[in-house]
Structure 1
Amino acid sequence: MLAGLSPARRRVVLVVLALASIGAAVLAGVVHQRPSAADPQPADQDRLGPVLLVPGYGGATGALQLLADRLTAAGRDATVVGLPGDGTGDLTASADALDAAATAALERTGDPAVDVVGFSAGGIVARLWVADGNADVVRRVVTLGSPHHGTDLAGVAGALAPAQCPVACRQLAPGSELLAELNAGDETPEGPSWVSIWTTRDRVVPPESSRLGGALELPVQSVCAGAQVEHSDLPRDGLVQEMVLAELAAGEPVELGPADCARLS
């Protein structure tokens, strides 16, 4: 192609091609060096920001408000997140509500990251929100009796009384599309640190469903063996509240055991 050009025009074309090659190489270098948004940097574990508490299925905030009040008394900035549709609608819409609450909390406080406590289905909402590109603004996620792998109650309701099983109910059934996607690969993506607190006496969410791969697992009875804590008791029980406070403290999540029972009870 260049053979048909005059010597002067040939030199111009060669210069343009050379500059284009240099520009492409520089751009490639810049792109290669730019940090990936998919690789969030862990939040400073020693800096305590606001705490957002996410209700479970049904969206009731009363029990979580008791926990929020306990956190506030301990000096933390704690807010219970209101969920659309009384927490029975699409859990991804609830994750959007958590996103709005987190944005407002960070703007209000100027902190770089939040802590999130999710009770029951609220733990699934928290995980959905983190997975949706928000791992870099979360320091810690604590779930309380959350059905990470579904609950048979939702499965039975969907099969026997589908009209009485709203969207969130169907999403919480074992093997649902939402849970299958959420649990595919890494259940606890990098960025925040993760803690799962649950009770062996749970008759709503099977204890094995509350296990979260990669999280610090804390059955209530591993701290106080005789604790009579049911599913609905988790946010309001004094022992559990103290466990949550311990796990939201500065530093990495802490192992708790029988030696801590008297101190936390």
Structure 2
Amino acid sequence: MLAGLAPARRRVVLTLLVLVIAVAAALTTALVGRRPAQVDGPVPQTRPGPVLLVPGYGGATGSLQSLADRLTAAGRDATVVALPGDGTGDLHAAADALDAAVSDALARTGEATVDVIGYSAGGIVARLWVADGNAGVVRRVLTLGSPHHGTSLADLAGSVASCPVGCRQLGTGSEVLAVLNAGDETPDGPTWVSVWTAQDETVTPPDSARLDGALNLTVQSVCPDARVGHGDLPRSPLVQRIVLAELAAGEPVALGPADCARLSG
């Protein structure tokens, strides 16, 4: 058909065709990269989506790799989020990195929601991300040893040594934590689980990890004789089994001593 056109007209038609193809490609990319619509109200709990794991202060992704591998072996799509810089900067920037990772996971899997695990300071990052208008795309938020009400260790670091912005944001008088904890600590949308160890010497006091409105579990409330420190939380086989149980389809599970033998085996 184009062969019968004059050269000038043929060039015009070809230019229009190229423009149409380019616009179609741009629209396709936009649609593919667009997040599913957020749920208004409680997020359905029956279908678990991909899991995003957020490292603690310092951003060491290796600390969460064994937990991610355990989730993958159980059939879950698990990604450890790389935090900007050295992981000691502004926790809001870390929340932006989580947001980008969530978008990638939803686009890649076609799922409507994610589960988020936040280890230590990563739990604060997860809360900041949820509070920034994302409650409708996360099914469950599970925090591991997170200083939801600050840690005296950060207070000490701020008084005797250099304490980067991320460190200061984890102090007991932190403005970031004061805003997060004003009113509802667990906004509607996802279900919330906080797991910590009574033997934590990094988050002090350990029950700073208690989160109003969440299912709160100490490792020792499940297995009273368990010896688990702060750094052991992501790699302890017992804690990994607790995490798997709490990320299963349905509502979070109120585990207790009757479950210890099963989870320790």
TM superposition score normalised by structure 2: 0.84
Give distance in 1, aligned partners of 2:65 and 2:41: 31
Deviation per CA, 1:57-106: give whole Å up to 9, x if none.
00011120100000000000000000012210000000000000001100
Q: Give the corresponding residue for 2:229.
A: 230
> What residue identity is the alignment partner of 2:222?
V
Q: How far is 1:40 from its partner? A: 3.1
How far 1:38 sits from its partner (Å)? Answer: 11
SS at match of 2:67: helix
Structure 2 vs 1, CA of residues 192 and 77 (structure 1 numbering), >3 Å: closer, same or farther? same
Other structure's SS at 2:156 match: helix
- State the match for 1:128 in structure 2: 128
Structure 1 residue 260 corresponds to structure 2 residue 265: no
2:199 alignment counterpart: 201
AA at the equivalent of 2:196:
W
What CA distance in whole angstroms lies between the structure 1 residues aligned with 2:248 and 2:113?
A: 14
Give how far 1:44 is off. Answer: 1.7
In structure 2, distance between residues paired with 1:65 and 1:156: 30
Matches within 5 A, 1:85-100: 85-100=85-100
Q: Is the 8 A contact 1:199 1:221 kept in 2?
A: yes
Residues 128-147 of structure 1 correspond to what in structure 2 (within 5 A)?
Answer: 128-147=128-147
Displacement after TM superposition at 1:42 (Å): 1.9
Match of 2:44 in 1: 44
Deviations 1:161-202 (A, max 9, x none): 1xx210100000001111111110000000000000000000
Aligned twin of 2:68: 68
Asked if residue 167 in structure 1 is aligned to residue 165 in structure 2, the reply is yes
Whole-angstrom distance in 2 between the partners of 1:159 and 1:176: 14
- Counterpart of 1:215 in structure 2 is 214
AA aligned to 1:222 is: S
Query: Distance in 2 between the 1:87 and 1:139 partners?
Result: 25
Q: Which has the larger radius of gyration?
A: 1
User: How far does residue 143 in structure 1 lie from its aligned partner after superposition?
Assistant: 0.2
Matched position secondary structure for 1:84: coil
Residue aligned with 1:86, SS: coil
**Unaligned stretches of 5+ residues in structure 2:** 1-36
Letter in 1 for 2:224: A
For 1:84, give the aligned amino acid.
P
CA distance in 1, matches of 2:153, 2:190: 30
Cα contact 1:40–1:190 (8 A) shared by 2: no
Residue equivalent to 1:187 = 185
CA deviation after TM superposition for structure 1 residue 39, in Å? 8.6
Q: Pairwise mapping of residues 18-37 of structure 1 onto structure 2 (< 5 A)?
A: none
SS of the residue 2:86 aligns to: helix
Q: Is the 8 A contact 1:150 1:172 kept in 2?
A: yes
Unaligned runs of 5+ in 1: 1-36
In 2, are the aligned partners of 1:223 and 1:258 still within 8 Å (CA)?
yes
Structure 2 letter corresponding to 1:250: A
Root-mean-square deviation (Å): 1.3
Contact 2:141–2:190 under 8 Å retained in 1:
yes
Aligned residues: 227
Superimposed CA distance per residue, residues 215-265 of structure 1 (whole angstroms, 9 cap, x where no aligned partner): 000100001000000000000000000000000000000000011001001
For 2:232 and 2:98, the matched residues in 1 are separated by 23
**One-letter amino acid of the counterpart of residue 248, structure 2:** A
In 2, the alpha carbon distance for the partners of 1:189 and 1:38 equals: 14
Map of 1:244 onto structure 2 = 243
Q: Residue 39 of structure 2 contacts residue 137 of structure 2 at CA under 8 Å; is this kept in 1?
A: no
Residue 58 (structure 1) aligns with? 58
- Distance in 1 separating the partners of 2:228 and 2:44: 33
The aligned counterpart of 2:83 is 83
Counterpart in 1 of 2:174? 176
